[in-house]
Amino acid sequence: MNMTISGACVIDVRTSLPRHKTLKYGRRKLTDIRSAALHHSATKSGSPEAFAGYHVVTNGWPGIAYHFVIQKDGVIYWCNDPETISYHVGNSNRHALGICLVGDFRTQQPTAAQLDAANRLIQHLQVQIPTMKQVFGHQEYPGYAWKNCPAFPMGTFRTNYSQFLQKAVGKVDKPKQIPVAIKLNDELLAVTGFLQEGVSMLPVRAVANAAGGKVDWITATQDVRVNDIDLNETLIAGSAYAPARELATALRLKIEWDQATKTVKLKGCVTV
């Protein structure tokens, strides 16, 4: 599994952690995983090595209970393959993936770095393991209502996680387009263009029509020509947009840019 997570540091300790000499955890398919289970370590500090040692030596388990451990500084330690059926939520182990945040949250708070890393980790895992639809606290699994783990409110955690996901989606989907007003001889046109990477892009047909230019659509090459001049246009939802300066040149108009009002001002003789 690819565990390169944008904005997070993941250290793979799967082969270096203490393991039981003879006992081995069972294996599952990734599609068996239905939820991420959040835990706290219930210790003020700690490390994957320390937890693994305790689980193996004291508890006599095959290896560390968790698939991932998140330190207070936000570093994520990858401790078990997700396919490992480790011991952390009893009867739900087969379908749960264990994530432990270091700290005793009965008296401490998770750090912002830990919570951010947890969000990034869960999002990354949900992409790789689409069946892992739920995020629960240890206490929310059947039979564990008595257990104060992870000892932070899961409702709040899930709300913050949804907001994190929305922001992440917004970053991907939202084009960096700032609307641009267009004036032709001081008259505001009803159409707008947009700024993209510092270049104003204007709707070719609407502006050319207003300025009395000739627009040709060359079907064979999917090209737009204005007054027989080829433009470096971009098609958006069936409309061609061209860089403002190119369009102005083709229409024999002068062009000014008003940064304060984000307006392209076109001036010249309009042929009707």
The 3-class secondary structure across 226-251, one letter per residue, is: ECCEECCCEEECCEEEEEHHHHHHHC
Q: Which of residues 79-138 bind Zn ion (CB under 5 A)?
A: 138
Nearer to Zn ion, 90 or 130 (CB): 90
Rounded CA gap, 64 and 157, in Å?
24
Per rule CB under 5 A, count of chain residues that contact Zn ion: 3
CB of 164 to Zn ion, least distance (A): 22
CB of 50 to Zn ion, least distance (A): 16
What residue type is 22 in one-letter code? T
Per DSSP, helices labelled H in 26-111 are: 48-53
Q: Do 233 and 241 touch, CB atoms closer than 8 A?
A: yes
Rounded CA gap, 196 and 65, in Å?
50
Q: Which of residues 39-68 bind Zn ion (CB under 5 A)?
A: 39
Nearer to Zn ion, 132 or 211 (CB): 132
Q: Do 132 and 126 touch, CB atoms closer than 8 A?
A: yes
Q: Is 70 in the site for Zn ion (CB under 5 A)?
A: no
Nearer to Zn ion, 154 or 229 (CB): 154
Nearer to Zn ion, 136 or 241 (CB): 136
CB of 107 to Zn ion, least distance (A): 16
> Tokens 């944008």 correspond to what residue?
6
Rounded CA gap, 265 and 99, in Å?
57
**What is the pattern of x (binds Zn ion, CB under 5 A) and - over residues 6-45?**
---------------------------------x------
Dihedral over alpha carbons 235, 241, 247, 250 (to 10 degrees): 30
Nearer to Zn ion, 16 or 148 (CB): 148
Q: Which of residues 138-177 bind Zn ion (CB under 5 A)?
A: 138, 149
CB of 194 to Zn ion, least distance (A): 50
CB of 138 to Zn ion, least distance (A): 3
CB of 78 to Zn ion, least distance (A): 18
C-alpha distances in angstroms, 30 versus 36, 165, 247?
12, 22, 54
What is the layout of strands, in order, in the sheet containing 96-101? 10-12, 76-78, 68-70, 96-101, 35-40, 134-137
Nearer to Zn ion, 19 or 88 (CB): 88
Residues that bind Zn ion (CB under 5 A): 39, 138, 149
